[in-house]
Amino acid sequence: MDDKVTAVTLDKALAYDERLTAPKSWWVIAALFGISMALIFLPYGGIAALIALVVGTCIASSYVSTQGSLRIRITRELLVAGDARIPLTALGEAQVLEGEEARAWRTYKADMRAHLVMRSYVTTAVRVEIIDPEDPTPYIYLSTRTPDRLAEAIRAAA
């Protein structure tokens, strides 16, 4: 895949760094969306079709880029997952989820108060308890392609 995972020692700024990117098929769909827009505007002339191709492809690519990418990092003090920033002192046990167990925690086992950082194209995840008594969030669910490495990085950082 096009993902980049970096694990370094805690002496450095990052203990874990993973960037999830959209699958290549999503980019193909974005290009096909632009082509379909061009075909729709083709009866209005070549210039209109070209403009529709560019605009349609740009809009679809922008959507894929924003919806398809996610970055998970562990620094000396924080777990950063997308927009969430959670102090490591608030994290409890990290549980690796694969296959049916990961799907279950995304669906019928999910707590409405939990913070879910999901990507539909990633089938593995890590579930981390939140032990801060002032935080009503029971856990954070993180989609990741390397759940063992992420869980180990959380354990080592905590």
- Strand-pair partners of 126: 96, 142
pTM over 0.85: no
* 77 token code pair: 């003090």
Residue 137 has pLDDT above 60, yes or no: yes
Q: Which SS3 state, helix, strand or coil, does residue 19 take? A: strand
Q: Which of 31, 18, 19, 106 is nearest to 64 (CA)?
A: 31
In sequence order, which ranges of 9-143 are alpha helices (DSSP H)? 24-41, 46-68, 99-106
Same structural domain, 64 and 103: no
Same structural domain, 97 and 134: yes
What are the two backbone dihedrals, phi and then psi, of residue 149, each rounded to the nearest 5 degrees? -70, -40
Q: What is the pLDDT at residue 10? A: 41
pLDDT in tens, 80-136: 998 889 999 899 899 999 989 999 998 899 889 999 998 888 889 999 999 988 889
Q: In whole angstroms, what is the distance from residue 102 CA to residue 120 CA?
A: 11
Q: What's the CATH number where 11 sits?
A: 2.30.29
pLDDT in tens, 29-75: 999 999 999 999 999 999 999 999 999 999 999 999 988 788 999 98
Q: Which domain holds residue 40?
A: 24-68
Q: Are 80 and 74 in contact (CB under 8 A)?
A: yes
Q: What is the pLDDT at residue 95? A: 92
Same structural domain, 129 and 57: no
Residue 147 CB-half CA count within 13 A: 18
Q: What is the pLDDT at residue 113? A: 92
pLDDT in tens, 11-37: 456 788 888 888 899 999 999 999 999
Same structural domain, 42 and 108: no
Q: What is the pLDDT at residue 120? A: 82
Q: What is the pLDDT at residue 5? A: 54
Report the number of distinct structural domains present in the chain.
2
